[in-house]
Homo-oligomer: A and B are copies of this chain.
Amino acid sequence: MSSLKDKILNTATDLFQTRGINSTGVDTIVAIAGTTKMTLYKHFHTKEGLIIEVLNKSQHDFHHWLDNKLNTNSKVPSDKIKQLFDFIEEWITSPKFLGMGFIKASAEFPNEENPIHQLSSKQSREFRQYISKLASEANVKDADGLALQLSLLFEGAVQAEQMKRGSGAIKYAKKAAKILIDGAINA
């Protein structure tokens, strides 16, 4: 894969997060990435295509990072779900955290028919299913229910952090998650 394609992808990811997707023009992206529109449009047919690749890469990076953290720290299923919010906290409080792409994208493209909105919705659903798998492996009875609740706390905490950097909301999300997880495991 061309390194210029990566450069464009990374630059776009950054600009979309810090300035908004609709507010970031392709001219700005190529200027900062140090390339030209011709090159951008060779790798991504449209701006929408670029947005979709940015969202996919962001989600893949997050998912890969989290899955790796969880699996290298413990093999015991109930420990894994209990540690989930420790790693989410690590992710959110990292200096390079700029927000979750799919949360912002769904707000910028509110129409449910829009491909970008649909992708956002799919990513949110897939993350919830990932948590649900963790929960069912830990023998939680209503795994989908707990997963949904934890994903609400997660998305709420991300939202809070996007509104005000260093809000500390994640600390309380973690406490709430512990209460809900303990309650569900002992049910």
Which residues of A line the B interface, CB within 8 A?
A: 17-20, 22-23, 99, 103-104, 106-112, 117, 120-121, 124-125, 145, 148-149, 151-157, 159-160, 162-165, 169, 172-173, 175-176, 179-180, 183
Which residues of B sit under 8 angstroms from A22, Cβ to Cβ?
Answer: 20, 22-23, 108
Instruction: Assess the A110–B99 pair: CB atoms within 8 A.
Output: yes
- A18–B172 Cα gap in the complex (Å)? 32
Instruction: Assess the A175–B112 pair: CB atoms within 8 A.
Output: no
Known pairs A153-B152, A172-B149; A162 contacts B20 (CB<8 A): no
Task: Name 18 interchain pairs, CB-CB below 8 A, sorted by A.
Answer: A18-B110, A19-B111, A20-B22, A103-B107, A117-B163, A120-B163, A124-B160, A125-B164, A145-B175, A149-B176, A151-B160, A152-B156, A152-B160, A152-B172, A152-B173, A156-B156, A156-B159, A179-B180
- A151–B153 Cα gap in the complex (Å)? 9
Instruction: Please tell me which one of the listed residues B111, B153, B165 contacts residue A112 in the complex, with CB atoms under 8 A apart.
Output: B165
